[in-house]
């Protein structure tokens, strides 16, 4: 594409920017603008309770199970995650899972030379 083809006169480019802006702003603003006038169905409300956990899992799980872009079932990060989950299930102390997971990760990395 040459410089002559790219410019401020290209209406389709500006229309695309406008539509993308509306597509990202309107769903967010609708909760503020509509407030309590619109009530989501109970099924949707129940499903939305799991959205933060699902988003966190979608971010964390690939980092735990992939090493250099390939699936590695035996790696220090996965063992540390398992130790963290076990510590969280066994204790109500918020620091214990952090200490258990980081301790396991550090020990395995030192032992395996990762």
Instruction: Provide the residue count of the chain.
Output: 114
Residue 8 has pLDDT above 80, yes or no: no
Which of 1-15, 33-47, 83-97 comes out lowest in average pLDDT? 1-15
> With the CA atoms of 69, 72, 78 and 82 taken in that order, what torsion angle do they form, in degrees rounded to the nearest 10?
140
Whole-number percent of the chain with pLDDT over 90: 58
Does residue 114 share a domain with residue 67?
A: yes
For the chain, the domain total comes to 2
Does residue 111 share a domain with residue 57?
A: yes
Q: How far apart are CA 64 and CA 67, in angstroms?
A: 8
**In 3-state terms, what secondary structure has residue 52?**
helix
Residue span of the structural domain in which 23 resides: 1-39
């Amino acid at each position: 594409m040459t410089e002559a083809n790219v410019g401020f006169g290209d209406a389709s480019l500006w229309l695309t920017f406008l539509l993308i802006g509306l597509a990202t702003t309107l769903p967010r603003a609708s909760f503020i603008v509509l407030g309590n006038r619109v009530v989501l169905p109970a099924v949707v409300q129940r499903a939305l309770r799991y959205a933060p956990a699902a988003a966190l899992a979608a971010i964390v799980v690939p980092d735990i199970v992939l090493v250099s872009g390939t699936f590695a079932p035996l790696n220090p990060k996965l063992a540390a995650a398992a130790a963290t989950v076990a510590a969280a299930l066994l204790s109500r102390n918020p620091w214990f899972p952090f200490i258990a997971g980081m301790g396991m990760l550090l020990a395995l990395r030192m032992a395996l030379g990762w």
